């Protein structure tokens, strides 16, 4: 099992550009989520999904969209990148909630 994979590992965007962070898991987990990690802030939940076709907002959803068309994939879209979105993004999945969450390796995003 590859576990939770994220691509890309690093990305630099200009303000206003859009992009999609990819997340996939091969553990057949129903629950998936996206977090951002900023220095001194811990991890904050952006969006989450409890199954294919079902998504909901977390603590900091503004500027991000998600969709869940399959159990395996949970992409995070930045609509119009802003410097405030410079962060490390983690995708996670779990078999159930509130179960152990398996985290991907992270994507380091810089918006200039």
The residues that touch another protein, with contacts defined as CB under 8 A, are: 31, 33, 35, 40-45, 48, 50, 56, 58-59, 88, 90, 92, 97-103, 105-106
To another protein, the closest distance from the beta carbon of 54 in angstroms equals: 9
Residue 46 is inside which H or E element, if any?
Answer: strand 42-51
Size (the chain), residues? 112
Residue (14 or 98) nearer to another protein, CB: 98
Residue (77 or 108) nearer to another protein, CB: 108
Residue (17 or 44) nearer to another protein, CB: 44
Contact 87, 111 (CB under 8 A): no
CA angle 100, 104, 110 (to 5 degrees): 135
To another protein, the closest distance from the beta carbon of 18 in angstroms equals: 25
Q: What is the DSSP letter of 3?
A: -
């Amino acid at each position: 099992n590859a576990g939770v994979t994220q691509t890309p590992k690093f990305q630099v965007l200009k303000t206003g550009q859009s992009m999609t962070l990819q997340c996939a898991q091969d553990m057949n987990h129903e629950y998936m989520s996206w977090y951002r990690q900023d220095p001194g802030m811990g991890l904050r939940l952006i969006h989450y999904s409890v199954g294919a076709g079902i998504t909901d907002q977390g603590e900091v959803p503004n500027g991000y969209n998600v969709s869940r068309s399959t159990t395996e994939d949970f992409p995070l879209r930045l609509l119009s990148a802003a410097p405030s979105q410079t962060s490390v993004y983690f995708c996670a999945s779990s078999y159930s909630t509130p179960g152990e969450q398996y985290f991907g390796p992270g994507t380091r995003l810089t918006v200039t």
